[in-house]
């Protein structure tokens, strides 16, 4: 065998959402903070993201995480998150996958029945409590960075769709959130094509008409991701959502670019953003469980634990709980004669 690069990774899913975790083959990268490390990686090592997420090693909804040494003395590990078109500062499903990989592979010691740890992320410190039994992480609960609403019931003009009422909120990423009912959607898997098309159009229009910047980090702009919200299918859930992750840049003159991939989980950062909007509207209080259903019928449970502020915004500190399962451990290699070293995309599913 003659490989120029080998990467070891653990593959997992968190309530359906794929979350690959790189555990070997990539050394530390420069940066005083995890956000700086993320930016350095994006500028100098983006070929790894492309290789791990695009075909033939990846697929449209795939996510990838890179475990790194923490930059903070109060953290046990650090990680950065990679998606198809961006490096999000935070992700709930990827946090759950990363914690599960760290503990179930022994990279960090597991303590039963509960393991407490801190993670260094580009969005800030994330405190984690992992419930463990018989060597398995049965549930991960983490305290996310504060979430806040920027726009509530704002109107955006979306070509072909008309006037759409949206909320824009931060939950670790900036989300635009719209109700699914006006589009006749039940948020079921068979509606995937319509959900992604409509979501991509709403997101593009909101980026143009309601751009937002994080008050504590001007390099974080949005919204970059869209969520459609509706009534739950399960009697034990409060709301249902479908989150569309962009797989390309939308061009209004080219309808074929209205594409995206559905988050298979109930979306952790999206759940936090939704809870922030509900709190701002007086529809969700502190210390109340919020069970959020995803498109597969799986559940993340969120809770708002206290009120705080982020710059000029009234904010809330959320926790989120969910479970991940390891599906495989693999070594991904690069043959020097491979004609697609950074993978490829084809328009049938991308």
Report pLDDT digits (tens) over 278-327: 999 999 999 999 999 999 999 999 999 999 999 999 999 999 999 999 99
Strand partners, 221: 213
Q: What is the pLDDT of residue 69?
A: 97
Active-site residue set: 91
119 and 156 part of one domain? no
Question: Is the distance from CB of 278 to CB of 170 less than 8 angstroms?
Answer: no
Residue 236 lies in a domain: yes
Domains of the chain: total: 2
Separation of first and last alpha carbons in the chain = 32
In a shared domain, residues 106 and 159: no
Domain that holds residue 235: 147-317
Which of 126, 95, 86 shows the shortest CA–CA distance to 17? 95
The reply to whether 293 and 169 lie within a common domain is yes
User: Are residue 96 and residue 110 in the same domain, yes or no?
Assistant: yes
- Checking if the pLDDT of 241 tops 90, the result is yes
State whether 62 and 172 are in the same domain. no
Q: To 5 degrees, how large is the angle CA 345–CA 36–CA 6?
A: 50
Please say if the pLDDT value at position 104 is more than 70: yes
Q: Please state, for a pLDDT cut of 90, what percent of the chain lies above it.
A: 90
Note whether residue 339 is domain-resident: no
**239 and 106 in one domain?**
no
**Does 341 map to a domain?**
no
pTM of the model: 0.96
Alpha carbon separation from 254 to 148, 173, 244, 257, 259 (Å, rounded): 34, 27, 19, 6, 11
Domain annotation covers residue 350: no
Is 311 in the same domain as 174? yes
pLDDT at residue 46 in the model = 97
How is residue 55 written in tokens?
A: 């075909």
Q: Does residue 343 lie within any of the structural domains?
A: no
Residues 65 and 133 grouped into a single domain: yes
Please indicate, yes or no, if residue 215 is contained in any of the structural domains. Answer: yes
Q: Are residues 101 and 167 in the same domain?
A: no
Clarify whether residues 170 and 100 are in a common domain: no
**Tens of pLDDT, residues 206-237:** 999 999 999 999 999 999 999 999 999 999 99
Q: What is the CATH number of the domain that holds 213?
A: 3.10.310.10
Q: Same structural domain for residues 175 and 140?
A: no
Question: Is residue 345 one of the residues assigned to a domain?
Answer: no
Residue 251 maps to a domain: yes
Residue 256 pLDDT greater than 60, yes or no: no
Answer yes or no: do 172 and 276 share one domain.
Answer: yes
Q: What is the pLDDT of residue 258?
A: 60
């Amino acid at each position: 065998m003659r490989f120029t690069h080998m990467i070891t990774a653990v593959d997992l899913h968190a309530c359906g959402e794929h979350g690959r975790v790189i555990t070997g083959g990539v050394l530390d990268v420069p940066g005083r903070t995890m956000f700086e490390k993320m930016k350095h990686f994006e500028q100098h090592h983006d070929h790894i993201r492309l290789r791990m997420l695009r075909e033939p090693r990846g697929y449209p909804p795939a996510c990838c995480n890179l475990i790194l040494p923490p930059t903070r003395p109060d953290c046990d590990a650090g990680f950065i998150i990679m998606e198809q078109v961006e490096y999000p500062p935070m992700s709930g499903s990827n946090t759950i996958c990363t914690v599960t990989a760290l503990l179930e592979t022994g990279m960090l010691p597991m303590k039963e029945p509960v393991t407490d740890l801190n993670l260094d992320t580009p969005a800030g410190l994330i405190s984690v409590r992992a419930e463990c039994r018989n060597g398995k992480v049965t549930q991960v609960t983490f305290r996310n960075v504060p979430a806040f609403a920027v726009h509530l019931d704002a109107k955006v003009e979306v070509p072909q769709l008309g006037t759409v009422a949206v909320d824009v909120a931060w939950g670790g990423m900036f989300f635009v959130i719209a109700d699914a009912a006006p589009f006749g959607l039940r948020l079921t898997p068979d509606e995937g094509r319509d959900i992604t098309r409509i979501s991509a159009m709403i997101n593009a229009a909101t980026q143009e008409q309601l751009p937002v910047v994080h008050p504590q980090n001007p390099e974080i702009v949005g919204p970059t991701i869209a969520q459609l919200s509706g009534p739950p299918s399960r009697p034990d859930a409060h709301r249902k959502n479908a989150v569309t992750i962009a797989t390309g840049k939308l061009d209004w003159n080219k309808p074929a670019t209205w594409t995206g991939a559905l988050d298979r989980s109930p979306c952790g950062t999206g759940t936090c953003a939704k809870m922030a909007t509900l709190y701002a509207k007086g529809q969700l209080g502190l210390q109340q469980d919020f069970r959020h259903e995803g498109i597969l019928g799986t559940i993340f449970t969120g809770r708002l634990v206290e009120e705080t502020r982020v710059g000029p915004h009234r904010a809330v500190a959320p926790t989120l709980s969910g479970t991940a399962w390891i599906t495989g451990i693999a070594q991904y290699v690069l043959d020097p004669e491979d004609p697609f070293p950074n993978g490829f995309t084809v328009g049938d599913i991308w």
